[in-house]
Amino acid sequence: MGIFGGQNRIKSQSSTTTLIAEGCTVNGHLKVANQLQIDGHVEGQIEAENQLKISESGNVLGEITTEHLIINGHFEGICHATRIEILSCGRVSGTVYSDNLSIEPGGKFMGITNPSEKAASAQEIPDLTDNLTLISTDPDL
């Protein structure tokens, strides 16, 4: 039987990591269902469902949306992540939206930090219970 037939098929693993290798350049919109590691250069919009790792040789210019962002290379742009780690060789320039940002000694961040947009939208809803005024205690009204 050929290499694509029968019992020898290997099923795709749901926890695989997609790799943009050093020396590769990608422009456009990337959407990855699991994890993404960038060792090369990416310009554009990136959506990685679980984790995005920019290695020391990696360079990203654009907008990132992910659950967990680890930066040990260069990132410039806008980032939306639940958790952001800037490692010792990491360089970030831009705007980040996160409630959990950590920077290792040697890591650099130049830009603006904001709470995650989910938390910000919850804060925008005013609590009206503080504005209630009791007009009368008469039960006949």
Residue 30 Rama label (left phi>0; alpha psi -120 to 50; beta): beta
Which 8-state DSSP code applies to residue 130?
A: G
pLDDT surpassing 70 at residue 14: no
What's the pLDDT tens digit per position in 29-87?
Answer: 999 998 999 999 999 999 999 999 999 999 999 999 999 999 999 999 999 999 999 99
Which residue in 120, 116, 23 sits closest to 68, CA to CA? 116
pTM metric for this prediction: 0.75
| Average pLDDT taken over every residue of the chain | 84
pLDDT at 96 over 70: yes
User: Under a CB-based contact definition with an 8 Å cutoff, are residues 64 and 50 in contact?
Assistant: no
> Is residue 125 scored above 80 in pLDDT?
no
